[in-house]
């Protein structure tokens, strides 16, 4: 029996400010009080270092990391830089980056490998479009992303998978419990086929319009080991009930 501790990670995307870091303290306090759940916030790069000093012990992470160690990559940020700033996590392959920066599965895998090598908790995002789902292709599409975006082996860091159906991100449309169960079960089977027993230990998060009022139902689904939360992670008032739901599940 593998007991996977739930992870609730907030992805602030291109939102937030120094002033908004005042949300971290109440989130950290609520996380401690709830207990039994790992909580992280991934603000924009410029806020990582100040967030760490005001985190109250919350894990702070980045929303991307470059695949190379260093060099002539204007505008990019390396895993080593994230670590030096106090970051302990990196999200890679978010659908917004796959779309806006044309990141391929191979590029996402290279980023994940680099982040893991630096000991970061590395969340690799996968998820199908509305068109894929309407065509009934969601399982093979996500299966291919899982096959090609995840690294083959890693010694450091922790690999986490986030299933985020694109049509559920920022839309208020949540996948049904049955849809989430179908996908998470399929991803788990892929992970076990590929990594053996390690595949049972990897956490699979759901993301896409997770809110206070749907979190408990989502956390009750088999093989849902937490959530990657966008909009509702921006304020303690919205994020704390999600942490509490994870703690009770």
Site string for ligand 13P, 10-29 (x = CB under 6 A): -x------------------
Which region, judged by CB under 6 A, interacts with ligand 13P, from 54-62, 111-119, 196-204, 223-231? 223-231
Taking CB under 6 A as the criterion, the residue among 64, 103, 164, 223 binding ligand 13P is 164
Taking CB under 6 A as the criterion, the residue among 208, 244, 246, 249 binding ligand 13P is 208
Taking CB under 6 A as the criterion, the residue among 169, 224, 236, 242 binding ligand 13P is 169
Is residue 42 within 8 A of residue 62, CB to CB? The reply is yes
Q: How many positions of this chain bind ligand 13P (CB under 6 A)?
A: 14
Q: If binding is defined by CB under 6 A, does position 161 make contact with ligand 13P?
A: no
Taking CB under 6 A as the criterion, the residue among 113, 209, 214, 249 binding ligand 13P is 209
Catalytic residue among 66, 94, 118, 184: 94
The question of whether 138 is a catalytic residue gets the answer no
The question of whether 94 is a catalytic residue gets the answer yes
**Given the rule CB under 6 A, which residues bind ligand 13P?**
11, 94, 164, 169-170, 207-210, 228-232
């Amino acid at each position: 029996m593998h007991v996977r501790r739930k992870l609730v990670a907030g992805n602030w995307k291109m939102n937030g400010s120094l002033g908004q870091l005042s949300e971290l303290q109440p989130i950290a306090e609520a996380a401690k009080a709830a207990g039994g759940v790992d909580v992280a916030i991934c603000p924009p790069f410029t806020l990582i270092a100040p967030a760490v000093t005001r985190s109250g012990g919350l894990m702070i992470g980045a929303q991307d990391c470059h695949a190379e160690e260093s060099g002539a990559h204007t505008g990019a940020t390396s895993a080593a830089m994230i670590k030096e700033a106090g970051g302990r996590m990196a999200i890679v392959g978010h659908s917004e980056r796959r779309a806006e920066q044309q990141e391929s599965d191979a590029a996402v895998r290279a980023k994940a490998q680099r982040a893991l090598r630096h000991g970061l908790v590395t969340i690799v995002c996968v998820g199908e479009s509305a068109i894929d789902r309407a065509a009934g292709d969601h399982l093979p599409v996500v299966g291919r992303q899982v096959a090609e975006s995840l690294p083959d082996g890693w010694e450091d860091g922790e690999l986490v998978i986030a299933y985020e159906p694109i049509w559920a991100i920022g839309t208020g449309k949540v996948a049904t419990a049955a849809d989430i169960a179908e996908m998470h079960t399929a991803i788990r089977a892929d992970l076990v086929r590929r990594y053996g027993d390690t595949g049972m230990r990897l956490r699979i998060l759901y993301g896409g319009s997770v809110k206070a009022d749907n979190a408990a139902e989502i956390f009750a689904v088999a093989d849902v080991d937490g959530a990657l939360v966008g909009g509702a992670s921006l304020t303690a008032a919205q994020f704390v009930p999600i942490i509490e739901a994870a703690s009770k599940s």
